[in-house]
């Protein structure tokens, strides 16, 4: 990804994910980066960062989206990700009981 706004290094949570940008009149698939971070000193929020490769999306200028979450919100999101991952994994394995 050229012209990247998020710093990507060995500590980045997920680099090279499959992403999609959707607008009212466009939809485009692009590789992306997802990162979870918090300030080093006196952390008070968890930040979720997402950036898609802007060279793959003509309808959108280079940008990164950031969401600040309270610890409780971050845990709720983590629980939703975990339960949804369990359901998808079960479906892939042919177990529809979840």
By CB atoms closer than 10 A (0-12, 13-18, 19+), residue 15 is middle
Predicted model pTM = 0.83
Q: Which two tokens stand for residue 1?
A: 């990804």
3-state DSSP: the chain helix, strand, coil percent, rounded to 5? 25, 35, 40
Mean pLDDT of the chain: 91
Domain boundaries, the chain: 14-69
Residue 96's pLDDT band (boundaries 50, 70, 90)? low
User: Per-residue pLDDT for 98 more than 60?
Assistant: no
């Amino acid at each position: 990804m050229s012209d990247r706004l998020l710093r990507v290094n060995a500590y980045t949570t997920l680099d090279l994910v499959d992403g999609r940008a959707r607008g009212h009149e466009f939809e485009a698939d692009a590789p992306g980066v997802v990162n979870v971070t918090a300030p080093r000193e006196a952390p008070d929020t968890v930040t979720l960062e997402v950036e898609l490769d802007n060279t793959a999306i003509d309808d959108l200028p280079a940008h990164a989206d950031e969401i600040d979450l309270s610890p409780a919100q971050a845990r709720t999101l983590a629980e939703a990700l975990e339960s949804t991952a369990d359901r998808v994994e079960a479906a892939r394995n042919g177990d529809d009981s979840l």
